[in-house]
Chains A and B, each alone.
Chain A
């Protein structure tokens, strides 16, 4: 388990975090969005007033160019994996944080946050360009039930010294008991925030964290609302002031595209913080925002596990809902087991997620690190008519895209950019690549010739 503060230090030591002084005239969400747009490092905002902030902690560089670092590399580090960990290792780690079938063995530890903060407004949470109030994002809500503690994502606004307006999954708010206590953990270990997102997108908010894999990994501590990670930078203990508040906000974190959410008005009872707290925030609604990446990874982890569990075998190499496509397209690499398997697979994915209604299928040998190849193969390997398959126009519109918001039905689409298993081997066109287009002796000679003039190794994968 990597506490958030340690995660920050890890990114800094890897050269993937830059500290900046907060500017009075440029809101942090604009700075965060520009860093993400440029595929820049994570940022820590040094502030004279209020808590320090961090952005880009759960996001990463886009995959539209060849880069050493991937969009999941930071989060891999936050999970205690190598930053070079494979995408599938990250998916497996996330999936393992969820419901464990009762095998989890929670550990408990003392609360790292022990300093009481007078007012939630003293935190001076970031206020975006379009925000009326300071906002909190990337929070983990915890509530208790007779089953245990339940986690889910939460975000909202600080409207006074002791009032918050938040949104959280309906599944969580429905678990609130009569006294309606809810704790918000800000600056939790990456595994904890990933768990909250995973539970939300899999519809498992009702599963207590004591029965989830995360409990094996993240030490917990009780609060008024429920268990939270002991290594939490800031805990805001609240009670529900209004379960049906009369306010509307356009702000939505990305998990809300596929998960029903409800507003709550909360009274702040207590705020406790570490001595030098740093909390993450996401420039919600901007490209590549942290909440978008987390939602994409959690959904991909869910789909990867469910699909590979479905037929008793594991034909799927990886599933990807890239933030670059705003979660509106699902990419999957698979072994096409038999003719027609691609149809089954695409429709199974549509069954398991309502976010998208376009699925792109590529061959099992395509690496998720080579998204550029995926973005080429779609158009080159798939026949423009035979391999772009539309359903009958009777499907409900997916929740993420912007079209057909009026509830009318329409078609779904899958693109089969994998080789047809019925083709003879001689029909399969060999790919042009360094590894395939040159014999070993030529590759060795070329590497020597090239590397003799260059310090950097040229042998990175295709």
Chain B
């Protein structure tokens, strides 16, 4: 059975010797984040800090719990979904896509059966500062929650819309949410609720089961619910429970739920913060205010956080892993469903939200242009600047082969497209615009527009020319393993690091 709660997921990690528990007291003020940074950098175990200083409730912090191994980021999540061990990247994508093709409706459970209701505080009992929110990087604007699911209303589905927006804590019942227009929940706030001067109900849910966190990272088409895709992913229904103070539903097994409203025409400071680009980004901006009406939680909540910025380059953290292991399969399925001949769509491992690599056929002239524009105008609009298209038989999960394709096949004269055109929106988290260019636009995006580009690194050779004799390669790999070479890096062995299909 899939890990249907965050606790079960942590136990699974423990069983795999992939979790390290620290009983000694650790400070939320940079220390937990620093230890997690070391864990991320050394590809070490996931750290859980059982005792956090200056915390009034018995809560633990968990540093980057969804981070996977650097060589196989999907490994832990594959285990959480009970997929076979040792799957190659392509096999993992195929298995996840199969699950996503069969969405499952969630199941409503009684509040008495919902662990996230073990403790309920509403009204004046709400104390946001009782939670050990980490101060993650020196220079951050404040303490943050950045590994959670924001549940918002969706007029087209009963289960609401799930998405991810970092949240800066201000006092015992107020926080600011990074709402960037162009994304579904912020759009609803900026263009529906706020003009009506109506607060938008939301819930911020921490410590969800892996399927929920994964579907939060996916770009689910408008009108479809992340909750049903989470059910497909775990091959079983997600348990939901009604909120205490609004009409939203939240995952019942969560560790912690903040219920509240995003207030109209109210702003609080947000940022700077060291986000997924790997750099601190500023300047401090004004963002919508989240007023917390209720906190419901487990008795001793495990509070996950992500040391953003450590998932670039060689590093992995929760957000880079979730991009590779969740957003990638979802995007592949979405593009296939839209009629494109895409084999795989995968975030570039070294900066996962800025560049994507798409392995695809080219069935007709102009196809890549159509594909690029489809993505840039739908889910790739704000964050992604580049797409790299490679042949369908190039593995986008193997960055060496992608780099080779760029070097050998992408002609600067003919294969780099849409450069020099600064007409597109951009998140202000970027570091290539000056603070003046980013400005302080009312709806979050940078004041100055940017360019988007795609690189055609496909070849003109017929498909199937490269690759060599797979059986011969397999025998060579067996020979090497017999001689004592570690099997982990071989892609064709039954029990190697990758398993052939």
Q: Is B264 on the interface with A (CB-CB < 8 A)?
A: no
The residue that A383 contacts in the complex, of B138, B408, B433, B477, with Cβ under 8 A, is B433
Contact, CB under 8 Å: B38 / A434: yes
User: Which of B407, B431, B469, B485 lies at the interface centre, i.e. has the most chain A CB atoms within 10 A of its CB?
Assistant: B407
Which chain B residues numbered 1 to 50 have a C-beta less than 8 Å away from chain A? Answer: 20, 22, 24, 26, 30-31, 33-35, 37-39, 41-44, 47
A15 to B34, CA, bound (A): 33
The residue that A385 contacts in the complex, of B70, B430, B450, with Cβ under 8 A, is B450
Q: Which residue of A lies closest to B469 (CB)?
A: A129
Q: Is B109 on the interface with A (CB-CB < 8 A)?
A: no
Q: Is A195 on the interface with B (CB-CB < 8 A)?
A: no
* Stretch of B180-188, B233-241, B305-313 on the interface side: B305-313
Q: Is A449 on the interface with B (CB-CB < 8 A)?
A: yes
The residue that A26 contacts in the complex, of B274, B279, B309, B479, with Cβ under 8 A, is B479
Contact, CB under 8 Å: A430 / B279: yes
Given that A129-B469, A381-B432, A432-B279 are known contacts, is A373 also in contact with B312, CB under 8 Å in the complex?
yes
Given that A35-B480, A38-B480, A384-B385 are known contacts, is A439 also in contact with B407, CB under 8 Å in the complex?
no
Contact mask A17-33 → B, CB, 8 Å, 1/0?
A: 01111010111001101
CB-CB under 8 A from A313, the residues of chain B are none
CB-CB under 8 A from B39, the residues of chain A are 450
Contact, CB under 8 Å: B404 / A429: no
* Min C-beta distance of B78 to chain A, whole Å: 19
Q: Is A458 on the interface with B (CB-CB < 8 A)?
A: yes
CB-CB under 8 A from A326, the residues of chain B are 404, 407-408
CB-CB under 8 A from B468, the residues of chain A are 30, 129
Given that A329-B406, A384-B451, A443-B34 are known contacts, is A26 also in contact with B139, CB under 8 Å in the complex?
no
User: Which of A27, A380, A430, A458 lies at the interface centre, i.e. has the most chain B CB atoms within 10 A of its CB?
Assistant: A380
Q: Is A260 on the interface with B (CB-CB < 8 A)?
A: no
A429 to B394, CA, bound (A): 35
* Min C-beta distance of A396 to chain B, whole Å: 11
CB-CB under 8 A from A244, the residues of chain B are none
Which chain B residues numbered 471 to 489 have a C-beta less than 8 Å away from chain A? Answer: 472-473, 475-477, 479-480, 482-486, 489
* Min C-beta distance of A372 to chain B, whole Å: 4
CB-CB under 8 A from A438, the residues of chain B are 30, 33-34, 37, 137-138
* Min C-beta distance of B354 to chain A, whole Å: 5
Q: Which residue of B lies closest to A458 (CB)?
A: B38
The residue that A432 contacts in the complex, of B137, B451, B453, B490, with Cβ under 8 A, is B137
* Min C-beta distance of B296 to chain A, whole Å: 31
* Stretch of A134-142, A170-178, A201-209, A406-414 on the interface side: A406-414
A462 to B315, CA, bound (A): 10
Binding site secondary structure of chain B: loop
A357 to B407, CA, bound (A): 9
* Min C-beta distance of A346 to chain B, whole Å: 12
* Min C-beta distance of A194 to chain B, whole Å: 23
CB-CB under 8 A from A352, the residues of chain B are none
Contact, CB under 8 Å: B37 / A434: yes
How many A residues, CB 8 Å from partner? 89
Contact, CB under 8 Å: A380 / B472: no
Q: Which residue of A lies closest to B422 (CB)?
A: A385
A196 to B41, CA, bound (A): 39
A432 to B408, CA, bound (A): 32
A404 to B415, CA, bound (A): 12
Contact, CB under 8 Å: B31 / A390: no
CB-CB under 8 A from A25, the residues of chain B are 475
The residue that B485 contacts in the complex, of A21, A38, A393, A433, with Cβ under 8 A, is A38
CB-CB under 8 A from B416, the residues of chain A are 388, 390, 413
A265 to B371, CA, bound (A): 52
Q: Is B434 on the interface with A (CB-CB < 8 A)?
A: yes
Q: Is B421 on the interface with A (CB-CB < 8 A)?
A: yes
A387 to B483, CA, bound (A): 48
The residue that A372 contacts in the complex, of B313, B401, B419, with Cβ under 8 A, is B313
* Min C-beta distance of B67 to chain A, whole Å: 14
Q: Is A98 on the interface with B (CB-CB < 8 A)?
A: no
Q: Is B435 on the interface with A (CB-CB < 8 A)?
A: yes
The residue that B419 contacts in the complex, of A385, A391, A403, A442, with Cβ under 8 A, is A385
How many B residues, CB 8 Å from partner? 92
* Min C-beta distance of A213 to chain B, whole Å: 31
Which chain A residues numbered 349 to 405 have a C-beta less than 8 Å away from chain B? Answer: 356-358, 370, 372-373, 375-376, 379-388, 390-391, 393, 397, 400-404
Which chain B residues numbered 402 to 446 have a C-beta less than 8 Å away from chain A? Answer: 403-404, 406-416, 419-422, 430-435
Q: Which residue of B lies closest to A321 (CB)?
A: B407
Contact, CB under 8 Å: B477 / A404: no
The residue that A387 contacts in the complex, of B30, B350, B432, with Cβ under 8 A, is B432
* Min C-beta distance of B500 to chain A, whole Å: 13
User: Which of B24, B314, B413, B482 lies at the interface centre, i.e. has the most chain A CB atoms within 10 A of its CB?
Assistant: B413
* Stretch of A58-66, A111-119, A231-239, A333-341 on the interface side: A58-66
CB-CB under 8 A from B190, the residues of chain A are none
* Min C-beta distance of A210 to chain B, whole Å: 37
Q: Is B280 on the interface with A (CB-CB < 8 A)?
A: yes
A90 to B371, CA, bound (A): 44
Which chain A residues numbered 9 to 58 have a C-beta less than 8 Å away from chain B? Answer: 18-21, 23, 25-27, 30-31, 33-35, 37-41, 43
Q: Is B459 on the interface with A (CB-CB < 8 A)?
A: yes
Given that A26-B475, A380-B431 are known contacts, is A456 also in contact with B31, CB under 8 Å in the complex?
no
Q: Is B253 on the interface with A (CB-CB < 8 A)?
A: no
Q: Is A348 on the interface with B (CB-CB < 8 A)?
A: no
Contact mask B36-74 → A, CB, 8 Å, 1/0?
A: 011101111001000000000000000000000011000
* Min C-beta distance of A141 to chain B, whole Å: 28
A34 to B350, CA, bound (A): 24
Contact, CB under 8 Å: B485 / A325: no
Q: Is A423 on the interface with B (CB-CB < 8 A)?
A: yes
Q: Which residue of A lies closest to B412 (CB)?
A: A413
Contact, CB under 8 Å: A460 / B42: yes
A304 to B398, CA, bound (A): 29
The residue that A403 contacts in the complex, of B26, B414, B420, B475, with Cβ under 8 A, is B414
Contact, CB under 8 Å: A18 / B413: no
Q: Which residue of B lies closest to A40 (CB)?
A: B485
Q: Is A162 on the interface with B (CB-CB < 8 A)?
A: no
The residue that A401 contacts in the complex, of B33, B354, B411, with Cβ under 8 A, is B411
Q: Is A89 on the interface with B (CB-CB < 8 A)?
A: no
* Min C-beta distance of A376 to chain B, whole Å: 4
Given that A375-B313, A383-B433 are known contacts, is A34 also in contact with B477, CB under 8 Å in the complex?
yes
Contact, CB under 8 Å: A427 / B435: yes
Given that A38-B490, A401-B411, A411-B412 are known contacts, is A456 also in contact with B42, CB under 8 Å in the complex?
yes
The residue that B409 contacts in the complex, of A65, A390, A403, with Cβ under 8 A, is A403
- A373-B312, A437-B34, A449-B31 are known; give 6 further A-B pairs, CB within 8 A: A356-B407, A381-B431, A388-B419, A403-B409, A438-B33, A439-B30
Q: 15 A-B pairs, CB-CB below 8 angstroms?
A: A20-B480, A30-B473, A34-B473, A40-B489, A41-B485, A373-B312, A373-B350, A385-B419, A403-B414, A413-B412, A423-B434, A434-B41, A449-B22, A450-B35, A453-B22
Shortest 7 CB-CB distances between A and B: which pairs? Answer: A432-B309, A410-B413, A328-B407, A446-B34, A372-B314, A372-B313, A413-B412
